[in-house]
C-alpha cells in the first residue's frame, strides 16, 4: 500500500519526502487555507509538485460540471501530471466522465459509502477517496465500510485505486493496508507518530550506552 501525505505544508512535505516513504501528496482547500488563507494556490501547488514529483491531487471548488472542467483545464496548465480532485456530486461524476475520456486522472473525494465509491469508479475515476475519520466522527464503523468497498473492488477487479482518506491515527493506516486499500493519505503528525515506538527508542539508547562502555574499556587498555 502506498502512502501519500495529506498536507499543504511545505516543511512537512519536505521532511516526509526526505524519509523516502511517500509516493504523493493530496491537498484540499481546507489544508491550503490552514497553512495560509492568503496563499497563492498555484504557487504552493507548483512548489509541492517540484518537491515530491509523484502523485499530486488538486481539488476544484466548483459545484457544477462546466466549472469543474474549466478548473481542471486551468490546473493541468500549471503542470500536466496533476490529478484533479472532484467532489462526489452528480455534477462531479459527469465531470469525471468527461475527464476520463481525455485520460485525465481524477480523484473523487468526499466518499462515505460503498455505493458512492462504485458510482465514482463507474464514472471513470482513477482514484476513489473514502473518508475514514469523518465516518468514525459520526459513530459509523469506517473499518467495515472500507472493507465492503475493498471487497467490491476485488470481486470485480476494478482498475481504479482506493485511497483511504481522513486518516486520524496509526490504526486507520493498518486497517487500510489489511483490507487492501491501494493508498492511505496521511497527515504529517499521524505519519510521524506511526513511525515511533518506545521499544525502538529504548533499544537505541541501550546500543549507544553499550557502545560508549566498549569505547571506555578500549581507551583504558590503550592508556595502560
Active site residues: 85
Q: What's the min distance (Å) between Cβ of 197 and ligand E4P? A: 24
Using CB under 6 A as the binding rule, whether residue 109 contacts ligand E4P is answered as: yes
Using CB under 6 A as the binding rule, whether residue 133 contacts ligand E4P is answered as: yes
Count how many Cα atoms sit within 13 Å of the Cα of residue 76 in the half-sphere of its side chain.
17
Q: What's the min distance (Å) between Cβ of 118 and ligand E4P? A: 19
Own/partner contacts of 179-183, CB < 8 Å, gap of 24 or more, are 179/143, 179/146, 179/147, 179/150, 180/1, 180/150, 180/153, 180/154, 181/1, 181/130, 181/146, 181/150, 182/1, 182/2, 183/1, 183/2, 183/3, 183/4, 183/23, 183/24, 183/127
Using CB under 6 A as the binding rule, whether residue 6 contacts ligand E4P is answered as: yes
Smaller CB distance to ligand E4P: residue 54 or 203? 54
Residue range at the interface with ligand E4P (CB under 6 A); choices 68-76, 129-137, 149-157, 211-219:
129-137
Residue in the shown chain whose Cβ atom is closest to ligand E4P: 166
Using CB under 6 A as the binding rule, whether residue 98 contacts ligand E4P is answered as: no
* Cell triple for 79: 503542470
Using CB under 6 A as the binding rule, whether residue 166 contacts ligand E4P is answered as: yes
Smaller CB distance to ligand E4P: residue 28 or 176? 28
Residue range at the interface with ligand E4P (CB under 6 A); choices 35-43, 126-134, 150-158, 188-196:
126-134
Using CB under 6 A as the binding rule, whether residue 194 contacts ligand E4P is answered as: no
Q: How many residues does this entry show for the chain?
A: 224
From candidates 49, 97, 134, 192, binder to ligand E4P by CB under 6 A: 134
From candidates 28, 106, 142, 194, binder to ligand E4P by CB under 6 A: 28
Q: What's the min distance (Å) between Cβ of 57 and ligand E4P? A: 6
Q: Using CA atoms, how far apart are residues 123 and 100, in angstroms rounded to an integer?
A: 8
C-alpha triplet 112, 118, 159: angle, nearest 5°:
120
- What sign has the CA pseudo-torsion 165, 124, 80, 110? negative
- What sign has the CA pseudo-torsion 58, 107, 30, 68? positive
Smaller CB distance to ligand E4P: residue 133 or 170? 133
Q: Write out the residues near ligand E4P by the rule CB under 6 A.
A: 6, 26, 28, 109, 129, 131, 133-134, 165-166, 185
Amino acid at each position: 500500500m502506498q502512502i501519500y501525505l495529506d498536507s499543504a505544508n511545505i516543511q512537512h512535505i519536505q521532511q516526509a519526502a526526505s524519509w523516502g516513504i511517500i509516493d504523493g501528496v493530496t491537498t484540499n482547500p481546507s489544508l491550503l487555507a490552514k497553512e495560509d488563507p492568503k496563499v497563492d494556490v498555484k504557487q504552493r501547488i507548483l512548489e509541492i509538485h517540484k518537491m515530491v514529483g509523484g502523485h499530486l491531487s488538486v481539488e476544484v471548488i466548483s459545484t457544477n460540471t462546466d466549472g469543474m472542467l474549466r478548473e481542471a483545464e486551468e490546473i493541468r496548465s500549471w503542470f500536466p501530471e496533476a490529478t484533479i480532485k472532484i467532489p462526489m456530486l452528480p455534477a462531479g461524476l459527469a465531470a469525471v466522465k468527461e475527464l476520463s475520456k481525455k485520460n485525465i486522472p481524477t480523484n473523487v473525494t468526499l466518499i462515505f459509502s460503498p455505493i458512492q465509491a462504485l458510482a465514482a469508479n463507474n464514472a471513470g475515476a482513477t482514484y476513489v477517496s473514502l473518508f475514514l475519520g469523518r465516518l468514525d466522527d459520526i459513530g459509523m464503523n469506517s473499518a467495515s465500510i472500507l472493507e465492503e468497498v475493498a471487497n467490491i473492488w476485488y470481486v470485480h477487479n476494478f482498475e481504479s485505486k482506493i485511497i483511504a482518506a481522513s486518516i486520524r491515527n496509526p490504526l486507520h493506516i493498518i486497517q487500510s493496508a489489511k483490507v487492501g486499500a491501494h493508498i492511505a493519505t496521511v497527515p504529517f503528525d499521524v505519519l510521524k507518530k506511526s513511525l515511533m515506538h518506545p521499544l525502538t527508542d529504548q533499544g537505541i539508547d541501550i546500543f549507544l550506552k553499550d557502545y560508549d562502555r566498549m569505547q571506555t574499556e578500549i581507551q583504558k587498555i590503550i592508556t595502560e
